[in-house]
């Protein structure tokens, strides 16, 4: 089995619920990753990108 696994905080889930889910599966968080989600907007024939939300990921390491 893999030593590392990524866990995504779901839309209807809090960060603490995600961390509890990680612990239940036998992983502990070692890194938090935030990725922005952008929306394309057309203004004056130019494309602009506006941040609308973010995706939070935790990298978990297997507890031995």
Which pTM was predicted? Answer: 0.78
Give whole-number Cα distances, 52 to 38, 43, 45, 55, in Å.
6, 17, 21, 10
| Number of structural domains the chain divides into | 1
Distance, CA of 48 to CA of 55 (rounded, Å): 20
pLDDT of residue 56: 96
Give whole-number Cα distances, 8 to 36, 57, 64, in Å.
13, 4, 22
Q: For residue 55, what are the domain limits?
A: 4-62
Per-residue tens of pLDDT for the chain, all 64 residues: 568 999 999 989 999 999 999 999 999 999 999 999 999 999 888 999 999 999 999 999 998 8
pLDDT of residue 64: 80
């Amino acid at each position: 089995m893999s030593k590392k696994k990524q866990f995504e905080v779901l839309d209807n889930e809090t960060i603490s619920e995600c961390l509890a889910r990680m612990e239940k599966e036998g992983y502990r968080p070692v890194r938090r990753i935030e990725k922005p989600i952008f929306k394309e907007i057309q203004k004056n024939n130019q494309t602009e990108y506006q941040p609308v939300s973010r995706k939070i990921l935790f990298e978990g390491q297997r507890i031995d």
